[in-house]
Amino acid sequence: MLNFDFPRLAAIGLTPLLLRQALAQAGDADATLCRVSRVQRDCFWLHDGDEERRAQVLPSLHGQLAVGDWALVQPQAAGPWRLLERLEPFNQLARVGDDGVRQLYASNVDTALLVMGLDGDFNPRRLERYLGLAASAGVAPVVVLSKVDLCPDAERKVEELETRLRPLPPILLLNATDPACRGALQPWLGAGQTLVLLGSSGVGKSTLSNTLLGVDAQAVGGVREDDSRGRHTTTARSLLQCPDGSCIIDTPGVRSLQAPLDEETLASSFADIAELAARCQFRDCSHKLEPGCAVRGAVANDRLLNYHKLQREMRRTEQTALQRQQQRREWKVRSKASRRR
């Protein structure tokens, strides 16, 4: 029999759909429903709606669990609780590592707050990658431009993004230390909602978390003055409860990001290019040198270059190991021929 208190668990994101799945999976087994609240390397913690507890997890589940997952758990009188089964999440955010392996960010997320600093961190190309990451998981994105108090031309940068991005997500100008952030983000902070903070180190994710929580729950650090890069003060993904009933998942910053894109997701992230491509003279137009291309003249060159780069990365991730080896051999042959010429 499944043990659960729906109002208590709904406060940390449980939905009727997830509950129905839990009841079906549990069957007659004696289990308790909990949410994964913290992941640090191979260590996991669970939240039962009242408090957080250390979890004992089977090695076979280590690569599947992310903060935000729901699980069937066997409580223990002493020591860690035993995690028995993971519920299938309704979405899951993940990036592709340098080795081609998916690295999990969070599961069962309603909104992704894509945080980008208005200092040296401002980078529309990287933001397009984060938008692709959100689109790949079916998570609604909200762009948060932080450090507005340090940027005299913040409105110009917003206009640049509004001109460039299609489809255009909500864009907010915030000072992460200002309590007014809670009001600006209120539409996404409803009871039971789960938000994830994504962005580079030093953009103010942990500062924003602390402001929304009303307490200094997350450690914060400064950034280097020469390149605005931050230190990795957040080293573990963790789920935090806000006073208004929403949950925030804070994540460590990353230097590089590759989203697990497919053709459909890439087209949805670059909707303007997908729409214009239908007017090109050739059906298989690559939007590079072909005559009659409707895309090149209408899309900013930097955005189009980023689209081509993401397209190449997507095709590399879809290749098998054998195909990648064959491609490397072809590159070596071309390189030798070029040197001889």
Task: Return binding residues.
Answer: 146-149, 199-207, 280, 285, 287, 293
Cβ–Cβ < 8 Å for 16, 36: no
Cβ–Cβ < 8 Å for 118, 145: yes
Residues in the chain, overall count = 341
| Binding-site residue ranges for GTP | 146-149, 199-207
User: Position 57: which residue type?
Assistant: V
Structure tokens at 127: 């933001």
CA distances from 180 to 100, 154, 176, 236, 239 (A): 40, 18, 9, 27, 22
User: Position 84: which residue type?
Assistant: L
Cα dihedral across residues 286, 290, 293, 297: positive or negative: positive
Structure tokens at 272: 């303007």
Q: H/E element holding 59?
A: none
CA distances from 59 to 43, 72, 204 (A): 11, 16, 34
Cβ–Cβ < 8 Å for 208, 144: yes
Cβ–Cβ < 8 Å for 129, 139: no
| Binding-site residue ranges for Zn(2+) | 280, 285, 287, 293
Cβ–Cβ < 8 Å for 75, 38: no
Q: H/E element holding 176?
A: none
